[in-house]
Amino acid sequence: MNETEIVQMAQQGDTSAFRQLFEENKRRVFTLAFQYTKNKEDAEDILQETFIKAFHSLNKFKAQDDTNFSSWLYRIGINASIDHLRKNKMKKDNYIDSDQLPSISSDDGFSQPEHAIRIKEIRTKLDLTLSQLPKGQRMVFILRHYQQLSVKEIADTMKCSEGSVKKQLFRAFQMIKKRFKSLFPEDNYEMQ
């Protein structure tokens, strides 16, 4: 049975068919939500909201050449993630203040523990930076960097222009660069 047939059964109120759609799409939606919120409970709430909204809107969904159920659901997941954060302000406790982390030299030749700490520092700094970005910029960055959607796919999904997506990606990356200055002293990049 293909996806279209399963969707049609779900549209007729068949919850076991809808369960099948849940099984096939749950991980992608949850991963997006987790990368966006950095919080397991929030991501689970978003997962539930996404599928509940999808179920109630199933009759509005019509499979087209450029829109399959997964893309449609993904769009609902993106909106649910943004809405969720709008309703529940990001929990500051999820983030470690990067200024409290030990300062690590950016020299080459880290030992294993140093390398692990540096990776952790980069992730923490990135999480902190992302949490402070405007919601749209954060979502664009996550969709491009982690979910590896192209600019065009993001524009289609978020219903905005490619130019707008490019601007938001640029601004998000500029902010990350600014926050990463302490990790990569500019002196290392003097022109020869």
Q: Tokens at residue 47, please?
A: 């997962």
**Would you say 65 or 111 has its CB closer to other proteins?**
111
CA dihedral (2, 5, 9, 10) positive or negative: positive
Distance CA 180, CA 168 (A): 18
When binding is defined by CB under 8 A, the residue of 4, 132, 150, 182 that contacts other proteins is: 150
- Of 60-68, 69-77, 91-99, 177-185, the segment contacting other proteins by CB under 8 A is 177-185
Main-chain dihedrals φ then ψ at residue 181, nearest 5 degrees: -55, -40
Does 166 engage in binding with other proteins (CB under 8 A)?
yes
Residue 52 makes CB contacts below 8 A (sequence gap 6+) with none
Task: Give strand ranges (E) for 33-153.
Answer: none
- Residues near 182 by beta carbon (within 8 Å), at least 6 away in sequence: 103
Binding mask 60-99 for other proteins (x = CB under 8 A): ----------------------------------------
Footprint of other proteins (CB under 8 A): 13, 15, 18-19, 22, 26, 30-31, 34-35, 40, 43-44, 47-48, 51-52, 55-56, 119, 122-123, 126, 144-146, 150-151, 166-167, 169-170, 173-174, 176-177, 180, 183-184, 186, 188-191
